[in-house]
Structure 1
Amino acid sequence: MPANHHGSLVILGDRGVLITGDPGSGKTRLALGLLTHAAAVGRFARLVSDDQVFLKAANGRLIGEAPSGIEGLAEARGFGPAAIPYERRAVVDLLVRLVPTEVAPRFREDETVNLEGVELPCLRLAERDTESALFAVAAWLAFPPFEGAS
C-alpha cells in the first residue's frame, strides 16, 4: 500500500526529484521552475504530482505516483489548479528538502535519507529561495550551466 506524502515530484531528464517541505515553503514554485529550466535547456521534463505523492518501495527503488484526483494538475497561485503535461509515476532518485534558511547548508552535504525503506541522496535547500534551489538541483543533475560538474 503506497504511503501518502506531502510534496511535489518531477522528472528531469532521466531522474525523479521529490521536493518536500512545510506548507508555503515553495515546493510547487521550485517544481515549476525546474520543469521550465529543464525544458529551456532541451531536457525532458514532466510533472508527476503536485502537493501529494503516493510513495512505495519496489525492488530497492522508491516509486512515486500522483493520486488520481490531482493527476496532471499543478497549483498556479492566484489561479488555482491548472492542467500541465505529466507522467503517471516515476522512480525517485533525489529528495530535495526545503528547510528554513537558517538551517540550510551553504554547500552540499553528502546526506542521505531513508524514505519508505529506500536510501536516497538528499539536498537540504533554503525554502522560498527558488532561484538558488533551482541551480543547486541543476548542478546535482549536471544540467546546464553545470554540465560535467557532478
Structure 2
Amino acid sequence: MTDNAGVDDQTTLHATAVAISGSGVLIRGKSGSGKSDLALRLIDRGAKLISDDQVTIGREDDQLLMSPPPTIAGKLELRSLGICECEYLSGIALRLIIELKDQPERFPMDNQVMILLGIKVPCCTLAAMETSAAIKAEWALQRIMQRVAGS
C-alpha cells in the first residue's frame, strides 16, 4: 500500500460507466459502438451516470473504484442532441465490464473475466443496439452479484 489513501494504481479508459443499484458497470467498445446510448437507456431504467467517454479507475486494496475525470463530470453526449448535463456518482466499485460488439457469441463461456489493474473483473459481451441490451446488462450484473453473495 502507498501513502496516497490506499490507491495502488490508476488508469483512465475510453469507456462509459454507470451505477446500477450502487454497483459499477463499465461499458467498453469502439467509438460509435453505442456506449453512451446504452448508458442512457440504463439511466432511464434507474441507473446513475458515473462518467461518459472517459472513466478514471483507481485500485484501492482489492477493489476498483470508478470516477469521472473532473473536466467531464456530469456530462453525457447524446447523438443529435449534443452534450447534456446530468447527475453523476463518483468512487463507485466496478462489478461488471460490458464489451460491446456487433455480433456477440450466442453461448459464451461462463465466468468470463477481464484483468484490470491486476484485479479480475467479471465481463460479458452485448450488442448495444439490441432492444434488450439494457435489460441484459441488468441481468448480467444481477447474476454476478448473486454469485458474490453466495460465496
Normalising to structure 2: TM-score of the pair?
0.82
Aligned pairs (5 A) from 1:1-150 = 2-37=10-45, 39=46, 45-101=47-103, 104-109=104-109, 110-129=111-130, 131-142=131-142
What SS does structure 1 have at the residue aligned with 2:132? helix
Q: Which amino acid aligns with 1:114?
A: I
Aligned residues: 135
Q: Deviations over 1:24-52 (max 9, x none)?
A: 10000001111112x2xxxxx21010000
Q: Which amino acid aligns with 2:117?
A: E
Using the TM superposition, give the Cα deviation of residue 78 of structure 1 relative to its aligned residue in structure 2, in angstroms: 1.2
Gaps of 5+ in 2: 1-8, 147-151
Q: Which amino acid aligns with 1:136?
A: K
What SS does structure 2 have at the residue aligned with 1:93? strand
Stretches (4+) displaced over 3 A: none
Q: Which amino acid aligns with 1:23?
A: S
Q: Which amino acid aligns with 1:27?
A: K
Give percent identity, aligned residues only: 32
Using the TM superposition, give the Cα deviation of residue 112 of structure 1 relative to its aligned residue in structure 2, in angstroms: 0.5
Q: Which amino acid aligns with 2:28?
A: T
Gaps of 5+ in 1: 40-44
Q: For the residues of structure 2 that align with 1:28 and 1:141, how far apart are their CA atoms?
A: 18
Q: For the residues of structure 2 that align with 1:32 and 1:108, how far apart are their CA atoms?
A: 26
Using the TM superposition, give the Cα deviation of residue 141 of structure 1 relative to its aligned residue in structure 2, in angstroms: 3.3
Q: Deviations over 1:87-142 (max 9, x none)?
A: 123111000000231xx12235320110111100001112433x232121121234
The answer as to whether partners of 2:22 and 2:92 remain within 8 angstroms in 1 is: no
The answer as to whether partners of 2:95 and 2:141 remain within 8 angstroms in 1 is: no
RMSD: 1.8
